[in-house]
Amino acid sequence: MPKTKVAQFGISVDGYGAGHSQSLKNPLGVGGRALLDWAFATRTFQRLHGNEGGTTGIDEDFLARAFENIGAWIIGRNMFGPVRGPWLDESWKGWWGDNPPYHTPVFVLTHHARAPLTMSGDTTFHFVTDGIQDAVERATAFAGGKDIRIGGGIATVQQFPRTGLIDELHLAISPVLLGSGESFFSSVDMLKLGYRCPQHASSPHATHIVLSRNG
């Protein structure tokens, strides 16, 4: 049965999913890039960037799973880019260049309408102004029976378990401290919402935990 899931989501040992002062230079905030250090050397990451080789093992296994059977994505506007408020023009087309890594329809949550944006590699960004329920319904229609993956930022991800719309979360806890930033579990009581931790595994670079509802 298709799932709506969060995968490959890095957090620090003090619970932050992004550092402070997010900007064009630091899209994950100050120090936030370290939350994904565990992934950079893996075979899947290297292949996504057109390279050969890469490491295998626990980190590779979890990263590869994160991209399996994905029919559509939903992301927040903050993940799409640093532009705020109304779209003054449509020059910003994301952080990723002409060929973003999604290769599926991507539904961007925003308060400001914008025409769909078609990129290379079968990625089309659709801008959704009617909230997460509408985004899930539209993503489901496009996904063709495959899973829907939820991307960041933190505020976007937090909305989904609160409304029972996340079946599974894979969090990668990196051995770094950020001290401040955006707290992943802030105001979200995962236990009360029915989530359990049926799987966890550690590598030298991260501890991977999987949370699922009633799981």
Domain count, the chain: 1
Residue 194 belongs to some domain of the structure:
yes
Residue 1 belongs to some domain of the structure:
no
* Amino acid at position 25, single letter: K
**Residues 110 and 126: beta-carbon distance below 8 Å:** no
Residue 87 belongs to some domain of the structure:
no
How far, CA to CA in Å, does 154 sit from each of 74, 76, 160, 185?
13, 9, 11, 9
Residue 37 belongs to some domain of the structure:
yes
Question: Running DSSP on this structure, what letter comes out for residue 173?
Answer: E
**Residues 103 and 93: beta-carbon distance below 8 Å:** no
Which residues of the chain register pLDDT less than 50?
none
Q: What is the CATH number of the domain that holds 148?
A: 3.40.430.10
Q: Could you read off the pLDDT of 155-177 as tens digits, one per residue? A: 899 999 988 899 999 999 999 99
Give the range of the structural domain holding residue 191, as residue numbers without chain letter: 15-79+97-206
Within the chain, how many helices (H) and strands (E) appear? 6, 11
Residue 74 belongs to some domain of the structure:
yes
pLDDT value at position 50? 87
